[in-house]
Amino acid sequence: MLRSLFAASMLAATACSADPQAGQQGAASGGKPFVETIVADFDSPWAMTFLPDRRMLVTEKDGRLLLVSADGKSRATIATFKVASAGQGGLMDVVLAPDFAASKRVYLSWSEAGQGGNGVVLARGTLAGAAGAERLGNVETLFRAMPFVAGDGHYSGRIAFSPDRRFLFFTNGDRQKFDPAQDPKATLGKVLRLTLDGKPAPGNPLAAKGFHPAVWSYGHRNLLGIAFDASGDLWEQEMGPKGGDEVNLIQPGRNYGWPKASNGSHYDGRDIPDHAPGDGFEPPMVWWNPVISPGGLMIYSGAMFPQWKGDAFIGGLSSQALVRVDLDGTNARKGDQWDMGARIREVEQGPEGAIYLLEDGQRGSAGRMIKLTAR
């Protein structure tokens, strides 16, 4: 089944006022074990994170970073970025620095135009200003994927910090170019391990073998989710081609096979060898065919849904679903898949243990933030 990719070059309008739909609530339906409450509506939101005071930072595809009140009723644009927003490009992830309480630093990713084409970048800025009048300033680019190439797909750009708070993991997609995922000199199709300043981290496992010194693992396609569990294991999910979406347990120095192995096929019907024992590639822990088109990834640690503590939650794009994966140590198996009626781009855990979703569309057209609470 061919998946729906992002809408090309979506229009977006500045969102600066209270949302008339905020607070709209409906009972759980279809046997869902949660109640859905609409918190706000955005223009093609991509990612979100919570500040210590429960306000939220939200990125919108065409380059706006929004500071949103805890109840979703007010927002302000606190930074804008010049992004390459065609196709799958735009302003992407937003994550607080491990020492945010002291440094006020915020890490972001976006796609930009440069020599040779487009690529994904990692940046950070500082949230400053009086309460209610904050801006993100001192923005500096820390890392650029290499090489920049033509096209507007498979940027990836997800960010996660190691449990010891010393390192940053950053995903670079294969940019729909296939071979760079196996190219040791490119960062495309890789999980990278960097210092907090965006430099290749010392001790990365493949540097001595001639790889780019930032590479942690390789052979990936479009890595749109990455997160550590409570035991310090690193999980990643990525879109397969025609079939073969994956959840992977990321191990240092390992080759995850793309494009030499996949449990899916090329879009034109050409076969790709499936993962098989002894092929030299790390197989996925969980995979889907038909696809779910995985978006964001979150590993739940809250108290509101104790039955799901330690499990992974994935946003489904073409599947228009919220997907749960049951994690048990370093083992994983499929759990629930709930129909949400819209493309789910991001999944995040709220301070109170609720689960927050961002839909993928434009404001007024399935671009909402939805809060899920226990029934």
63-108 pLDDT, tens digit per residue, is: 999 999 999 999 999 999 999 999 999 999 999 999 999 999 999 9
- The CA-atom distances, in angstroms, between 138 and each of 48, 81, 124, 127, 210 are 20, 13, 8, 9, 34
- The CA-atom distances, in angstroms, between 278 and each of 253, 254, 282, 322 are 17, 14, 10, 33
* Residue 201 near residue 236 (C-beta atoms within 8 A): no
* Residue 144 near residue 121 (C-beta atoms within 8 A): yes
- Terminus-to-terminus CA distance in the chain, angstroms? 34
Q: What pLDDT does residue 187 have?
A: 98
d(CA 370, CA 34): 11
> Is residue 18 pLDDT above 60, yes or no?
no
d(CA 138, CA 52): 21
> Is residue 28 pLDDT above 50, yes or no?
no
Token pair, residue 231, equals 């035991």
Mean pLDDT of all residues belonging to the chain: 92
Q: Does residue 308 sit in helix, strand or coil?
A: helix
* Residue 271 identity (one-letter amino acid): D
Of 6-20, 97-111, 158-172, which range is least confident?
A: 6-20
Q: What pLDDT does residue 201 have?
A: 98
Q: How many residues are recorded in the chain?
A: 375
Fill in the DSSP letter of residue 231.
T
Q: Which whole number is the average pLDDT over 302-321?
A: 97
pTM given for the model? 0.92
Q: Per-residue pLDDT tens for 124-142?
A: 999 999 988 999 999 999 9
Q: Is the peptide bond before 45 cis (omega within 30 degrees of 0)?
A: no
Q: What pLDDT does residue 135 have?
A: 98
Q: Per-residue pLDDT tens for 252-286?
A: 999 999 999 999 999 999 999 999 999 999 999 99
Q: Which whole number is the average pLDDT over 21-42?
A: 71
Token pair, residue 334, equals 């499929």
Q: Considering the chain, what percentage of its residues have pLDDT values greater than 90?
A: 90
Q: Which whole number is the average pLDDT over 97-121?
A: 98
Fill in the DSSP letter of residue 102.
H
Backbone angles phi, psi at 80, to 5 degrees: -130, 145
* Residue 219 near residue 183 (C-beta atoms within 8 A): no
Token pair, residue 57, equals 């930072």
Active site residues: 154
Contacts of 205 (CB under 8 A, 6+ apart): 216, 252, 253
> Is residue 55 pLDDT above 60, yes or no?
yes
What are the b/e assignments for 105-130, b being 16+ CB within 10 Å?
bbbbbbbbeeeeebbbbbbbbbbeee
Q: Which whole number is the average pLDDT over 198-214?
A: 98
Q: What pLDDT does residue 30 have?
A: 57
Q: Does residue 168 sit in helix, strand or coil?
A: strand
Residue 353 CB burial class (10 angstroms; 0-12, 13-18, ≥19): middle
Q: What pLDDT does residue 23 have?
A: 39
Q: Per-residue pLDDT tens for 214-242?
A: 999 999 999 999 999 999 999 999 999 99
